[in-house]
């Protein structure tokens, strides 16, 4: 029996390394010491308890497993784990109270110049930056919960902060109360799925110069300024939800200088502005749902060659707003609940084009305070007069084949 077991384990043994247990009751009570003594490939099990040992630097391939969420406490002055190695796994810890410093960007877990690091199932509470990764690749960040309770932007960093990384995976993380929930700069070829970024002070998701990334089934809700993405090409956003981003400069999704991208099957629910875009080109918006937004889409005249097809526009105050009369974008085959046309040939496509830009949205664009007169009889008259004889709204911005019934997007 023993022989069989030994034979079974034999091929694995050289990979396995030793397992060391750190616990408050001893014999090994210090995680720092355990890390220092460990050989590459070792596993360190950490039992429950509070470990306030300052900054711990990991420079070899280790597996750190927390049992019942041992607490790493930074006592409001330290960074907690700093990883500078390949093949490190950090799982099941609770990181609390890092220091606050805008110069050093103190983080719960900092990873730099590393590869294939996994940060899995950890809790971050009251950390300045939660997870801060720079110049790394092939890392996987999943099932983490990040939470901060600060009220002012300069006293908290970003939840998950990535700078100059490739081939990263972010899956099923929950970020709440940070400055930016998820922040990317120069991050390419990465996959971001099923994350939940809610109640952050600034942006739920914020990226720049991060090309060819894919965002799937994420939810960005109730963030101070929604989601803002800039200076990027090859963005894929599929099945995400952007909801309840309210405020004078809050956007469900702000696209600035984005090109050659795809926004497909997302839901934009009750945002002040569903999508705001400027300087963006060649983006395809298909099968998205815009429901109950102040503005569903604000398309600045600086955008060109964007396509809106098969989207549903329902219960928005204004469906589409623009700031000029030049129209270089294509709007076709969407469902608009404000469409009043008819369908005589019964092909489920309206026979007269729909002009999605309402005249009053142009007025409100000029005079924000005028929004208070919306839905008054006067505005109704003005809007209908404009529909009959377009004078202010861009005449060519129209949907030539509006759908008679909402597209089934479920």
Partner 1 sequence: MRRIIQYVLYDILRTRFMLLYTALLFISTLAMFQLDNDPSKVVMSLLNIVLMVIPLVGIVFTTIHFYNSYEFIELMLAQPVDRKVIFLGEYIAVACSLSIAFLLGCGLPILLYGATPAAITLLCCGTVLTLVFVSLAFLAAVLTRDKAKAIGVALLFWFYFSLIYDGFLLWFVYAFSDYPLEKVTLALIALNPVDLARVIMLLQLDISALMGYTGAFYKSFFGSHTGILLSTTLLAVWIALPCYLSLHIFSKKDL
Least distance CB 203 / partner 1 (angstroms)? 17
Give dist(CA 192, CA 160) in Å, integer.
12
Applying CB under 8 A, which residues contact partner 1?
246-248, 250, 270-273, 292-295, 314-318, 337, 366-380
Least distance CB 316 / partner 1 (angstroms)? 8
Least distance CB 90 / partner 1 (angstroms)? 40
Nearer to partner 1, 95 or 295 (CB): 295
Distances (CA, A) of 156 to 94, 174, 180, 182: 18, 16, 9, 13
Give dist(CA 225, CA 94) in Å, integer.
28
For the chain, what is the largest distance between any 2 Cα atoms, rounded to a whole number of angstroms?
91
**Residue 157: beta bridge partners?**
none
Least distance CB 209 / partner 1 (angstroms)? 28
Nearer to partner 1, 116 or 379 (CB): 379
Q: Name the DSSP letter for residue 266.
A: -
Least distance CB 226 / partner 1 (angstroms)? 11
Nearer to partner 1, 87 or 314 (CB): 314
Q: Are 397 and 322 in contact (CB under 8 A)?
A: yes
Least distance CB 47 / partner 1 (angstroms)? 48
Which residue, among 226, 180, 233, has the nearest Cα to 208 in the 3D structure?
233
Task: Take residue 50 and report the two structure tokens written for it.
Answer: 């509070």
Give dist(CA 301, CA 320) in Å, integer.
12
Query: Phi-psi bin for 77: left (phi > 0), alpha (psi -120 to 50), beta?
Result: alpha
Nearer to partner 1, 42 or 319 (CB): 319
Nearer to partner 1, 183 or 318 (CB): 318
Dihedral angle, C-alpha 67, 73, 78, 81, nearest 10 °: 0
- 3-class SS of residue 176: strand
Nearer to partner 1, 213 or 272 (CB): 272
Nearer to partner 1, 101 or 376 (CB): 376
Distances (CA, A) of 181 to 223, 235, 268, 304: 9, 18, 18, 30
Nearer to partner 1, 327 or 379 (CB): 379
Backbone phi and psi for residue 201, each to the nearest 5 degrees, phi listed first:
-70, -35
Q: Which DSSP helix (H) or strand (E) runs through 242?
A: strand 241-243
Least distance CB 406 / partner 1 (angstroms)? 10
Least distance CB 333 / partner 1 (angstroms)? 21
Least distance CB 401 / partner 1 (angstroms)? 22
Q: Are 156 and 183 in contact (CB under 8 A)?
A: no
**How many residues in total does the chain contain?**
410
Which residue, among 350, 359, 286, 283, has the nearest Cα to 319 in the 3D structure?
359
Nearer to partner 1, 250 or 331 (CB): 250
Give dist(CA 36, CA 34) in Å, integer.
5
């Amino acid at each position: 029996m023993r022989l069989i077991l030994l034979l079974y384990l034999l091929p694995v043994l050289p990979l396995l390394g030793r397992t060391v247990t750190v616990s408050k009751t001893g014999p090994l009570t210090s995680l720092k010491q355990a890390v220092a003594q460990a050989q590459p490939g070792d596993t360190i099990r950490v039992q429950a308890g509070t470990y306030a040992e300052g900054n711990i630097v990991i420079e070899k391939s280790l597996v750190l497993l927390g049992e019942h969420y041992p607490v790493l406490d930074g006592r409001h002055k330290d960074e907690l784990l700093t990883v500078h190695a390949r093949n490190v796994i950090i799982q099941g810890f609770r990181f609390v109270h890092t220091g606050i410093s805008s110069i050093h960007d103190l983080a719960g877990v900092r990873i730099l110049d590393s590869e294939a690091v996994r940060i899995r199932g950890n809790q971050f509470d009251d950390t300045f930056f939660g997870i801060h990764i720079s110049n790394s690749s092939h890392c996987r960040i999943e099932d983490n919960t990040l939470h901060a309770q600060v009220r002012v932007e300069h006293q908290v960093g970003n939840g998950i902060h990535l700078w100059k990384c490739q081939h990263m995976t972010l899956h099923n993380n929950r970020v709440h109360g940070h400055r930016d929930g998820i922040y990317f700069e120069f991050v390419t070829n990465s996959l971001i799925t099923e994350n939940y970024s809610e109640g952050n002070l600034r942006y739920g998701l914020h990226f720049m110069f991060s090309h060819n990334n894919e965002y799937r089934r994420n939810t960005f809700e109730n963030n101070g300024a929604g989601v803002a993405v800039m200076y990027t090409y090859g963005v894929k956003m599929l099945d995400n939800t952007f909801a309840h981003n309210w405020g004078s400069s809050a956007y469900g999704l702000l696209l600035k200088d984005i090109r050659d991208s795809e926004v497909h099957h997302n839901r934009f629910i009750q945002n002040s502005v569903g999508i705001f875009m400027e300087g963006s080109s060649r983006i395809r918006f298909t099968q998205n749902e815009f429901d109950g937004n102040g503005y569903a889409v604000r398309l600045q005249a600086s955008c060109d060659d964007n396509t809106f097809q098969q989207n549903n526009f329902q219960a928005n105050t204004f469906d589409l707003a623009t700031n000029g009369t030049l129209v270089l974008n294509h709007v076709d085959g969407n469902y608009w609940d404000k469409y009043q046309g008819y369908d005589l040939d019964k092909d489920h496509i309206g026979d007269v084009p729909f002009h999605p830009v309402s005249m009053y949205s142009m007025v409100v664009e000029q005079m924000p305070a005028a929004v208070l007169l919306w839905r008054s009889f006067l505005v109704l008259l003005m809007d209908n007069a404009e529909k009959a004889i377009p004078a202010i709204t861009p005449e060519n911005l129209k949907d030539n084949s509006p759908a008679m019934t909402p597209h089934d997007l479920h």
